[in-house]
Amino acid sequence: DAKTTQPPSMDCAEGRAANLPCNHSTISGNEYVYWYRQIHSQGPQYIIHGLKNNETNEMASLIITEDRKSSTLILPHATLRDTAVYYCIVMGSSNTGKLIFGQGTTLQVKP
């Protein structure tokens, strides 16, 4: 599975959009980009995933560049409850499901 690179930390003002970048320059054609988050010491929470098209759900939007070498997770209106560590994970469809968590990005939403 391709390696990902994320900034260690970011701040965002409450009510503003939070844009979290991820680089995955070695991603291959059958690998998906997944985003999870972990609030404090809770279990990780699935947010969204995509292959090459942009995706949106009730939590967030995922923008994947045309060359698929990077992506951005967008939380459109961040709230204090969105303060968490956000993980970008690349995984192939033939994988046994093992998620490899990096250090992620610690997003601090400030009032």
Partner 1 sequence: EPEVTQTPSHQVTQMGQEVILRCVPISNHLYFYWYRQILGQKVEFLVSFYNNEISEKSEIFDDQFSVERPDGSNFTLKIRSTKLEDSAMYFCASSVRLAGSNEQFFGPGTRLTVL
Q: How far is the CA of 48 from the CAs of 13, 73, 111, in angstroms? A: 22, 9, 25
Q: What is the DSSP letter of 81?
A: G
**For residue 107, with 0-12 CB atoms within 10 Å meaning exposed, 13-18 middle and 19 or more buried, which class applies?**
buried
Q: How far is the CB of 60 from partner 1 (least distance, A)?
A: 13
| Interaction site with partner 1 (CB under 8 A) | 32, 34, 38, 41-46, 49, 51, 87, 91, 93, 95-103
Question: How many whole angstroms separate alpha carbon 77 and alpha carbon 39?
Answer: 17
> Which amino acid is located at 93 in the chain?
S
Q: How far is the CB of 98 from partner 1 (least distance, A)?
A: 5
CB closer to partner 1, 14 vs 59: 59
CB closer to partner 1, 98 vs 111: 98
Q: How far is the CB of 65 from partner 1 (least distance, A)?
A: 20
CB closer to partner 1, 46 vs 110: 46
CB closer to partner 1, 23 vs 38: 38
| 3-state SS, residue 102 | coil
Q: How far is the CB of 8 from partner 1 (least distance, A)?
A: 13
- Whose tokens are 């009510």? That residue is 15
